[in-house]
Amino acid sequence: MHNKDINKKGVYLLEEKYNKEAIQRLNQRFSEEFRPEQILVNENMSAHTTFRTGGMADLFVEIQNEEQLGKALKLLQAEGLSVLNRDFYLLGNGSNLLVSDSGIRGVVLHLSKEYSHIRVEGNTLVCEAGATLAAIAKKACASALSGFEFAAGIPGSLGGAIVMNAGAYGGEMREVIKYVKLMTPEGKIIQKNTDEMHFGYRHSLLKEQPLIVLEAAIALVPGELANIQSRMEELAAKRREKQPLEYPSAGSTFKRPEGYFASKLIEDAGLRGAFVGGAQVSEKHCGFVVNKNQASSSDVYALIQEIQKKVRESSGVNIEPEVIFIGSFG
């Protein structure tokens, strides 16, 4: 009982292994350990992704703290399910993924709003994995700490941002991370410093090893409150001007190819405003695929494939999605 690994397109291939009896047994096991309101059966994933698409998850469990996460991992392990084999999915803010219309077979562990505490320790913010980057930036600003302004508008949680070394406007997570507290598949708590996290462009140790982010320390520097607020407002204005924030999306859809800009390649391929179903290449920023008109995940996926094909034909460049695909596509 294990999921296939990620294929060349970055798609999680989830096998049809969770039959009705298995889900009922897991539901019973979680019900013995968690409150009823934390366990959702056949939960619509469109409510938990920024694309606002996706089918049902068989079992959706709200995780509120580190202790509950450890308990959930032990419960799943007792059932022969492991993060090592990608037997379940850990979800944060759902900002960088596309869940298939057929949904997610099995269990989703969701880091809830309760798992998002932020505390200030001198010039450092110690943040739980479920904290959004926007909330962290707001806390940093209120504490007159500078260095996190770049991340204020990135739609995501800390855990996901560390996994992909998220960045914007010249800043990246690796520049501010002091250490990351992690949980191994066996439930052991470990800590890695920045050098040990193998940060690269949209890459980290978490893409190499099945570790789970619990919290991280963000090292900042004292600054003038007015200057920090001004910089955040400036970047927010740039986003409103250049990005299609009025439509559901996963942010920038493609990684930056070396020596190129994905948005320019897409525009040069004649794809500005192109549609597949309700999904569209943004007319404001060609690097964004948006849910323009009640798109399905299949619409979004088909448009991404079409973009890759047309760009390859036009320029000879292969562009790779930043978006992670969950479930069965194609």
Q: Which residues are catalytic?
A: 202, 252, 322
Contacts 24+ apart (CB under 8 A), 57-60: 57/99, 57/103, 57/104, 57/106, 57/107, 57/108, 58/18, 58/23, 58/103, 58/104, 58/105, 58/106, 58/107, 59/23, 59/26, 59/27, 59/30, 59/106, 59/107, 59/108, 60/107, 60/108, 60/110
Query: Which one, of 69, 64, 86, 65, lies nearest residue 6 by Cα?
Result: 86
Tokens of 163: 């996994």
User: What's the token pair of residue 312?
Assistant: 């390859």
- Classify 11 in phi/psi space as left (phi over 0), alpha (psi -120 to 50) or beta: beta
- CA 329 vs CA 23, 58, 233, 299: distances in Å: 23, 18, 39, 11
